[in-house]
Structure 1
Amino acid sequence: MVATNSYREIKADMLRRITGGEWPPGSLVPNETDLAQEYGSARATINRAMRELVEDGLVERKRKAGTRVRLLPLRQMRLDIPLVRNEIEEQGAEYRYALVRSDILKAPDWLRARLNLDADTQLRHVTCVHFADGQPYQFEDRWINLKATPGARIADFGATGPNEWLVRQVPFSNVEVSFSASPATQEQAQHLGCAPGDSLFQIERQTFWQGQSVTFVRLLYHRGYRMTTRY
């Protein structure tokens, strides 16, 4: 094997060994130390190449069991955290934003349990509406952990939505997302121009930074909203 320091070249050669049958489905892949010696490269380089193969769904790693080629490749879908402004403008519509309410509160019991917060943790609770060509598009109900994000205490959300502020100011290391249909509450119906009880598309999203919850948000969309993603 010719020595190389490029993880891309190593990944490409590993892929060749998988697709060519040298490492068949279900087979155990050599460990990183042996591969580093074989490729004449640093172990960290091997690790990066292997991580990308894991992310591509071609191999799987288990503690104490090593790395194996998957019996069936795992197709993975990746979702970006979009800015609703961009989403609306990409549709050729004019974007407008309106702040409904902003308060500093202690976490309610349901949210404290969900985010694993201390009883005295304060959060900024923001509700706002995003419009496309003057029509209600998205109702945003967001809680921001001020212990993790102290700058949010004084941030001005009068002209710019909290999601745009968070994307610019706060990194995240993990995200949990769920999708569901949800009956519109009285408040949601008022702001989205529908009837209470109407079924709306809802996204709940929770972001973390190094194990600490940063924000929890519920996003409700206008009736007839359709999400499309590609992978």
Structure 2
Amino acid sequence: MAETTTFREVMAEIVARITEGPWGPGTLLPGEVELAEEFGVSRTTMNRALREVSEQGFLDRRRKAGTRVRMAPIRQARFEMPVVRAEIEKTGADYRYALVSRAVVVAPDWLRARMGLKARAKVVHLVCLHFADGVAFQLEDRWINASALPQAVEQDFSVVGPNEWLVATVPFSEVEISFLAQAADALMVQHLDHALGDPVFCVERATWWQNAAVTLVTLAHRRGYRMTTRY
């Protein structure tokens, strides 16, 4: 390979050798220096490629023992924070966003307990709607911890929704996701055209950054919504 080979190209070749041969389960790989010379890349590039392939579950890397192909690959789920605009536009539908309400309030007791917030902690409470081809697609009920993200207090969220703003503003180190069928409340009836008490597919997602709670959101979907994942 040429010296301009990227670590991603190296990764692809390593995975191909594992999945298609000749590196079968249990194979001890050559050392980093030898592989770097074969691939025509620096040792740093080779180390990064091997590390990435190892994190995908294909390799078992041990100091002094070398790098071996795992007998059975380990599946590792990687979570990328979804952006509802992209989800809607991917279907070919036109996306529209609307802010229903915004308030800066003292966190209610249930939220303080859920997110581990201090007494009298301030939060930004947002209710938003996301539309696909003019029809309400998702109702977003979100709480943002003002002490962890004080700039949220000044952000009006009238043009850019909190979903996109958070993805662009702060990373996350921990995420907790729950999927549930929730009885439609008055807000869901008003904006999603459900009847009161109808089962509504909801996603509840909480995120933290370095042990500080960032946000808790409940995403309620219009009837007929389907979530599909692949890994």
Measured in 2, the distance between the counterparts of 1:115 and 1:91 equals 34
Gap change, CA 1:72 and 1:98, over 3 Å in 2: same
Aligned residues between the structures: 224
Paired amino acid for 1:87 = E
Q: 1:45, CA displacement in angstroms?
A: 5.6
Paired amino acid for 1:88 = I
Q: Conserved in 2, the CA contact under 8 Å of 1:10 and 1:39? A: no
Match of 2:100 in 1: 100
Where structure 1 has 5 or more consecutive residues not aligned to the other structure, the ranges are: none
SS of alignment partner, residue 111 of structure 1? helix
Query: For 1:1-231, what aligned pairs fall within 5 Å after superposition?
Result: 24-25=25-26, 35=31, 48-59=48-59, 69-231=69-231
Q: Conserved in 2, the CA contact under 8 Å of 1:36 and 1:42? A: no
Q: Conserved in 1, the CA contact under 8 Å of 2:25 and 2:72? A: no
Where structure 2 has 5 or more consecutive residues not aligned to the other structure, the ranges are: none
Q: 1:36, CA displacement in angstroms?
A: 5.2
Q: 1:155, CA displacement in angstroms?
A: 0.4
Q: 1:201, CA displacement in angstroms?
A: 1.6
Q: Conserved in 2, the CA contact under 8 Å of 1:185 and 1:196? A: yes
Between the two proteins, what is the percent identity of the paired residues? 52
Structure-1-length-normalised TM-score: 0.75
Structure-2-length-normalised TM-score: 0.75
- Describe the superposition over 1:102-141 as per-residue Cα deviations: whole angstroms up to 9, x where unpaired: 1112222332233222223211011111222232210101
Q: Conserved in 2, the CA contact under 8 Å of 1:59 and 1:68? A: yes
Gap change, CA 1:60 and 1:153, over 3 Å in 2: farther
Paired amino acid for 2:156 = D
Measured in 1, the distance between the counterparts of 2:224 and 2:205 equals 21
